[in-house]
Chains A and B, each alone.
Chain A
């Protein structure tokens, strides 16, 4: 562990630390952020009313819309002069959201990422290739500062230029790779074309995040890239990468609870759920000064687990995000997460991990189409064999989801590759 005193802290002691930090955070919000002052007053609650850590449930929620409405700096809790870094979401849907960090915030963040790196078996002797995008996106710089904090070497290569990524990996002896899981698979494909064998490289750990993925995808990545793959979670509104991280147990991601207070809620009613119940993840930042957030609704769906982890860390674990409470597809009344379709596809032999889900509305009826690439090995010149493959995929998905789908076989590499977040769903419905 990077910081065993905190990471393995007795839970009672941790709760008392959290309460102090929560009260302090809410106090700062009341004093410095008009939006929160108004909101807390409306809810009839003040930081002085917080007597135990569970009292967080009395506080009002913050949503992405609140961030948009207060664009750009409305939620900052310090004068802009104290802000040393600004990041922003890509803003593909509506107004972008902007977040600001103080010097102290950057330092806290770097420590959390350093802890995350150690959790993935990294140490100061490692060479870490950061293939997350650098820039407004928090991925690249977030990981970067953590690597430096740990004292390992960082290759700030950013995303894209895949052939150079692989050459660097080979030439510089990269031991830890950080990127999105879909980009990792794309790298595997490119390496094959370049005749680079991952077994000859020195990679030992991969730290993958910024998009949902499954254990089947993990198996594939570990096999193709010859490394141990870890899931990292974070979101820019709350901090960036390093909100939670898997340990060697790979049985949930430890949330750094000295910095983030985590809850799950029923997304429809806002009611707080117990540990073990699946719901929407909600965070309160309790060690952030630039832009603290109270009960921020992430829209990510997961389950929290407070049972003791064999790794020794006491911080609560979240399951890998199973989907988003807002990008969930509702197809003829059935809830569909893209990750479910991925799970099915990964279990079928001969399918490449590239797929795309297309939703259409035909005559008032929602139709789900899954485009799947046929791998070279699977291609048969007999139509019958291909149709059988198509049928197997159709049957498997239908029995898993409980709704009809149309499966379309595609030529290898015909589905657009992304060098960042994979675009898995094309929703063409006009509702």
Chain B
């Protein structure tokens, strides 16, 4: 159940993040989770939104460099050690985590971890076999 993530290339220039978020607001796209990775010159903003296709098209139309990537969303207990428990099955299978970021679920006491790995299917299998719930895309977008 891969989740669509929207990635945007931004120059490190004042106001660019404002431009991006403003563009999303104007297109009535709601942001679920967000993560900014940056270097001294540029940054990549990764977004989970309620309507990835609309976000993609409207940002592209506004001149942003946009890419869709697939990531996994896993539910973990919002308790100490929760994140490390989810790492373990992936490490056991020698899977390389490119990046991850988390956010809290509004309606429950859980956290959601967004994970980007090369071998998505294998990762889903490994997580499910250890009893983790992989959140379906539709559920995530409307959380």
Contact = CB atoms under 8 A, between A and B. Distances in A.
A381 B67 CA distance: 7
Interface string B93-106: 00000110000000
Given A380-B67, A383-B39, A387-B39, A411 B46 contact: no
Given A409-B41, A411-B10, A381 B46 contact: yes
Interface residues of A, number: 17
Contact of B9 (A374, A390, A408): A374
A243 B24 CA distance: 53
Contacts of B63: 411-413
A362 to B, nearest CB: 15
Contact of B44 (A376, A381, A390, A410): A381
Interface in A365-390: 374, 376, 379-383, 386-387, 390
A376 B56 CA distance: 13
A308 interface: no
A411 B9 contact: yes
Contacts of B42: 386, 408-409
B11 A379 contact: no
A3 interface: no
Contacts of B7: 379, 381
A379 B98 contact: no
Interface in A84-105: none
A371 to B, nearest CB: 9
* Chain B interface mostly: strand
Contacts of A386: 9, 39, 42, 44
A411 B11 contact: yes
B108 interface: no
Contacts of A411: 9-11, 63-65
A380 B64 CA distance: 13
A164 B55 CA distance: 31
B43 to A, nearest CB: 8
A374 B44 contact: no
A410 B46 contact: no
A380 B69 CA distance: 9
Contacts of A376: 65
A386 B39 CA distance: 10
Interface string B36-80: 011101101010000000000000000111010100000000000
Contacts of A274: none
B39 A379 contact: no
Contacts of A374: 9, 65
A381 B5 CA distance: 10
A414 interface: yes
B69 A381 contact: yes
Contacts of B9: 374, 379, 386, 411
A127 to B, nearest CB: 33
A412 B65 contact: yes
B41 A408 contact: yes
A169 B63 CA distance: 26
A379 B41 CA distance: 15
A390 to B, nearest CB: 8
Contacts of A379: 7, 9, 65, 67
Nearest to B40: A408
A282 B11 CA distance: 44
Contacts of A412: 63, 65
A387 B44 CA distance: 12
Interface in A403-425: 408-414
17 contacts: A374-B9, A374-B65, A379-B7, A379-B9, A379-B67, A380-B67, A381-B5, A383-B39, A383-B44, A386-B9, A386-B42, A386-B44, A408-B42, A411-B11, A411-B64, A412-B63, A412-B65
A-B complex: 9 closest residue pairs judged by Cβ atoms: A381-B7, A379-B65, A383-B37, A381-B69, A379-B9, A408-B41, A411-B11, A409-B42, A381-B44
